Chains A and B, each alone.
Chain A
């Protein structure tokens, strides 16, 4: 019965979405208030109905209802409960329900929380959002019904992929979707603004919290996925430039650009048509990602099961949404008008350069991801584009971006005073050079680029701190007064500082774990000692263990530093008999200086019988990647909690806000 309720709820949701896609927008153009306000009811109704469907599907997973095909294919009665729950969004169909749920959730969010948004803009925005949900609900009902029954029901489910039974991976899709589906509402705001033919600072301010919310979750989702790959896959790598990873990374890059350009629209009433374009493109890239993951058009390690009919439907959806909105853009953008003037050296210009670099970097990733397809279509030849390409082309755009990130916050609007800024950054520049020099002296074997990058990280870090100190007049005023100034500073300003410091940490982690990584790969018998990065690792042997649904071989390794035992590492090789697969469970000793990372497996050759294949890695500074990502998330959240941006709070109409530097 439950699955039927779910299916019925989805069908009803489609009907409601159709109503919402017509009534409010027609009401807005004919001035019927009641029609416009119907959006609130329909948006809430939609989210309730899709929530019912989502709940129904989850229940089928929790009780292991094997009359539902989706449960049969993606669950097993032996799975731990949490992974049964996570199985709800583990398949193509189930994840689509989650996708749609987040889509309507953002719609309802604007309907309920966006009290200060003018009724016309709100009505149009919600109608546009409903167009998207009509597309996805119909896609689900016509091609990917999650509630399809199977008869006769099998005794048990078929999927127990142990690699995916991990809490990091279970939480990864919801966060990721919350991020990139969240950009849908920003898209809807942009299309509504185009229809109205008006974009002003108020518009940018209304949209900002939604952009931030989406961006924060996307950041967290990507970081979580990367962390999972790091500890679970056993190579110690955290980014592989796989098409599916790129699919989530592209909206993040462009979303970051959007976040910055919207500030200029908000503070200076300029970059209007550019901000609108970014809003449209960011969500378009989210849609493209959905298409890449579900169409099987590219080779990837983690694509869903593939069905060309679905591919055609999503592509149609993509075509209507993206080409439609961009055509509207080409037609209406000239009416948005251009804003104020600024000098080539000004905060506007700085943010423009930031946007240009981010947009080009996005284009590079997009290009590299799709290029094999282009070549195949034109010349019928197959080529591959992999990490060496992305590293070679992406990094040259990122380093300048990080450099200007240090200067940007010092620039004033319209026209900045370069000599004055140099005065204030001289010392910072000296410190950065000094740090790079010390690193170069200590590490003679790494590539030069690594040393330069560390210098750049130091530059951003110190420059950001300096800017923050100047704002609160630290050292110029008594400490108590400075602290008071810090308290009075808008939270968004602290948010920016924290996020920019986070970027410095990210660079530190990227460089450390790539350039100075150490690795030992060896066959070991019990008693073997390995030296790595100043540690002595003693292999004591292997024990057989029995887990709930697996058999494991657990290695025992003692780690010594300066002759003293500091920790015991127990990597495992797990064999899951029901699923017929094995996984590698790494053991990691994490410190801020670096991770000692051990995996164990059986040797492939018979010559090494009685021995074990040990892989010991030392990844310097790798944890700073996740610390940096956390700081980005916290910085974003701090900015989101700013009183001036708080959803529903009345917007203060003070002139002074225009004087405050961007956050």
Chain B
């Protein structure tokens, strides 16, 4: 009996392993995605100066906490191609939905960022210039663009990795903002 169980073990192990592999094939699963350690934590402490030669003020944790309503924080850079596509969507969210949008300009040369904003327009209320990328690490970002929803109490409630371009992505952001507003 023992021997029979022993001989059947390899087949059993193979079946279990196969189950995991099948689960792993789920097309919605992205093996490269990193879950955020920040969601449901307070905004990390940081203070960033404005982007040089722009009129937009800089961004800090204190500023984010003092707003008192849900707000969107978008991490962007002029060298990031998908950010360009996302820019129009963010502008529309600000102009049509009245979303309050803050920006973190990540590992960018200030002059490039200023040109970029000049060319495409500036939907951001405040922009912090994170030219060395340190604050990016505080936020645990794994690339640009990334967008966070902060509720009225300064708690990070949602994170979106990648450009917000598809209608589904926009709906997710709106829903997250609405949920953040409902809580406060």
Contacts and interface: CB of A to CB of B under 8 A. Distances in A.
Q: Do chains A and B touch in the complex (CB under 8 A)?
A: yes
Interface of A: 273, 277, 280-281, 284, 291, 295-299, 308, 311-312, 315, 318-319, 322-323, 326-327, 329-330, 333-334, 370, 373-374, 376-377, 380-382
B111 interface: no
Contact of A308 (B10, B21, B25): B25
Nearest to A366: B17
B20 to A, nearest CB: 6
Contacts of B15: 323
Contacts of A298: 24, 31
Contacts of A281: 10
A284 B35 CA distance: 33
A180 B20 CA distance: 23
B25 A334 contact: no
Interface stretch (B1-9, B52-60, B73-81): B1-9
A299 B21 contact: no
Contacts of A334: 3-4, 7
A315 B7 CA distance: 23
A326 B25 contact: no
A373 B14 CA distance: 15
B contact residues, range: 20 to 34
B18 A315 contact: yes
B7 A273 contact: yes
Given A311-B25, A315-B18, 15 more contacts: A277-B10, A280-B10, A281-B10, A296-B31, A297-B21, A297-B31, A322-B18, A323-B14, A323-B15, A327-B11, A334-B3, A370-B20, A376-B24, A382-B33, A382-B35
A21 to B, nearest CB: 22
8 contacts: A295-B24, A297-B21, A298-B31, A299-B32, A319-B18, A329-B10, A373-B20, A381-B35
A311 B32 CA distance: 17
Nearest to A319: B18
Interface of A is mostly: helix
B21 A329 contact: no
B10 A326 contact: yes
A295 B23 CA distance: 12
A322 B14 contact: yes
Interface string B15-44: 101101111110101011111000000000
A312 to B, nearest CB: 6
A381 to B, nearest CB: 7
Contacts of B32: 299
B18 A333 contact: no
B25 A330 contact: no
Contacts of A380: 35
A297 B7 contact: no
Contacts of B33: 382
Contacts of A376: 24, 29
Contacts of A329: 7, 10-11
B4 to A, nearest CB: 7
B4 A315 contact: no
Chain A CB within 10 Å — which of B22, B33, B35 has the most?
A: B22
A297 B11 contact: no
Contacts of A296: 31
B34 A330 contact: no
Given A281-B10, A329-B10, A377 B18 contact: no
